[in-house]
């Protein structure tokens, strides 16, 4: 079949008004390329458009720099803290700032600065691992329930209702009180156990919305299998809300770990954690407030950085907010 061609003289006979409309249409539909010299025919995807907006967002830049710094000191704390966080000297207990110990000493004579730096490793590890586990489990269960619907969707909905009825802190007090391990894995497992329902509901709603689009119906009509529909067509277009919620929740999991450690059911000594140090410093808040100020400040800064990053990602991935 011959390719369709514009009738001869169609453009030339449009007159001055038609030519002007055509020029305006071309100017609005074609964008300049990366070098600014020619048109860019290929449209930008959601992710490339979001990345362009993020690079221009000062909130994203500041929060990303803070998070990169936290990740670096979590991996290599000795870069900025050469001491041993478990080495203590009771003769220096509760002393303030002095050369070699800018943050002073805690009630056991340990260097507050060194413990604050090394505490970032535990908090970041718990937050990242819990977020990955929650996002993976919640996305798989919610995505499958939203795609297939029916009985599996009803079971997931009722199960999430049960988990939402469990108070997080109370559940942590009950479940973690019987754990004797001082590692981070019981705390991470508890967060994944009670955190996946939120992500599953987000993933379920996003998949239900995505599978109703015309391109999914067209792929189904062409004989695409369920796995191909999920992985190739639905998942890339439904994962954005999950990423936004998971990014914001990461800061929440860090603060939850500190809360559980403060209450004595989370991480336990000799693990170095901001929550453990805050719990130990609460008894000396009048005599030595520096013991509480620095770990609490580091915790607040970390949580704020991840929440700011999540807000920036949400604004970039949501076209309605532009």
Residue-wise pLDDT for 129-164, tens only, equals: 999 999 999 999 999 988 888 888 899 888 988 988
**Token digits of residue 15:** 């007159």
pLDDT at 46: 67
Residue 27 banded pLDDT, cuts 50, 70, 90: very low
**Which band of pLDDT confidence, cut at 50, 70 and 90, is reported for residue 44?**
low
State the Cα–Cα distance between residues 319 and 2, nearest whole angstrom: 39
Rounded to whole angstroms, the Cα distance separating 105 from 96 reads 6
Q: Write 132-136 long-range contacts (CB < 8 A, 24+).
A: 133/188, 133/191, 133/192, 133/196, 134/191, 134/192, 134/195, 134/196, 134/198, 134/199, 134/246, 134/249, 134/253, 135/199, 135/242, 135/243, 135/246
Mean pLDDT of 169-197: 87
Nearest to 85, CA basis, from 67, 68, 71, 101: 101
pLDDT in tens, 241-264: 898 899 889 989 999 999 999 988
Nearest to 188 by CA among 100, 266, 79: 266
Torsion of CA 105, 106, 111, 114, to 10 degrees: -130
In 3D space, the residue among 252, 251, 273 whose CA is nearest the CA of residue 262 turns out to be 273
> How many other C-beta atoms can be found within 10 angstroms of the C-beta atom of residue 182?
11
- pLDDT tier, 43 (very low <50, low <70, confident <90, very high otherwise): low
Give the pLDDT band (50/70/90) at residue 200: very high
Give 148-154's long-range contacts (Cβ < 8 A, gap of 24+). 149/208, 153/204
Q: Which residue from 263, 257, 255 is spatially nearest to 307, judged by alpha carbons?
A: 255
Asked whether 119 and 277 are in contact (CB, 8 A), the reply is yes
Nearest CA to 92 among 66, 110, 80, 78?
110
Average pLDDT over residues 264-276: 88
Helix (H, G, I), strand (E, B) or coil at 312: helix
In the structure, what pLDDT confidence band is assigned to residue 39 with cuts at 50, 70 and 90?
A: very low
Considering only residues 91 and 47, tell me which one the structure prediction assigns the higher pLDDT.
91
Whether pLDDT at 23 is above 50: no
Find out whether 311 and 59 touch, Cβ atoms under 8 Å: yes
The length of the chain is 322
**What is the band of 24 on the pLDDT scale with cuts at 50, 70, 90?**
very low
- Residue-by-residue DSSP string for 14-64: GHHHHHHHHHHHHHHH-EE-TTSSSEE-SPP-HHHHHHHHHHT-HHHHHHH
Query: And the tokens for 92?
Result: 């220096």
Share of residues in the chain with pLDDT > 70 (%): 84
Helix (H) or strand (E) holding 229: none
Q: Is pLDDT at 199 greater than 80 in this prediction?
A: yes
pLDDT at 9 exceeding the cut of 80 = no
Distance CA 248, CA 252 (A): 7
Note the Cα 167 to chain centre separation in Å: 22
Q: What's the predicted TM-score (pTM) here?
A: 0.79
Fold of 100-321: MetI-like fold (1.10.3720)
115 three-class SS: helix
Q: How much is the mean pLDDT over the chain?
A: 82
């Amino acid at each position: 079949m011959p390719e369709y061609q514009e009738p001869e003289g169609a453009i030339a006979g449009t007159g001055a008004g038609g030519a002007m409309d055509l020029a305006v249409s071309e100017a609005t539909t074609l964008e300049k390329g990366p070098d600014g010299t020619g048109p860019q025919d290929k449209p930008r995807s959601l992710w490339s458009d979001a990345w362009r907006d993020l690079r221009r967002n000062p909130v994203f830049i500041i929060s990303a720099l803070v998070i990169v710094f936290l990740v670096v000191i979590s991996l290599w704390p000795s870069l900025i803290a050469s001491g041993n966080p478990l080495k203590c000297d009771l003769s220096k207990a509760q002393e303030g700032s002095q050369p070699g110990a800018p943050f002073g000493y805690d009630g056991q004579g340990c260097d507050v600065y060194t413990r604050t730096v090394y505490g970032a490793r535990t908090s970041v590890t718990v937050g990242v691992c819990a977020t990955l586990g929650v996002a993976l489990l919640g996305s798989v269960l919610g995505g499958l329930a939203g795609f297939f619907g029916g009985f599996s969707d009803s079971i997931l909905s009722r199960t999430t209702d049960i988990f939402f009825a469990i108070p997080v802190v109370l559940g942590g007090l009950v479940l973690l009180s019987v754990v004797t391990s001082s590692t981070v894995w019981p705390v991470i497992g508890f967060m994944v156990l009670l955190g996946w329902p939120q992500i599953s509901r987000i993933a379920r709603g996003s998949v239900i919305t995505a599978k109703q689009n015309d391109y999914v119906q067209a792929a189904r009509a062409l004989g695409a299998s369920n796995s191909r529909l999920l992985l190739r067509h639905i998942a890339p277009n439904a994962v954005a809300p999950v990423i936004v919620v998971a990014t914001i929740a990461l800061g929440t999991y860090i603060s939850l770990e500190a809360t559980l450690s403060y209450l004595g059911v989370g991480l336990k000594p000799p693990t170095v954690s901001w929550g453990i140090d805050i719990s130990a410093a609460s008894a000396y808040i009048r005599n030595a407030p520096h013991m509480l100020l620095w770990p609490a400040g580091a915790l607040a800064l970390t949580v704020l950085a991840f929440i700011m990053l999540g807000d920036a990602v949400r604004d970039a991935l949501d076209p309605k907010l532009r």
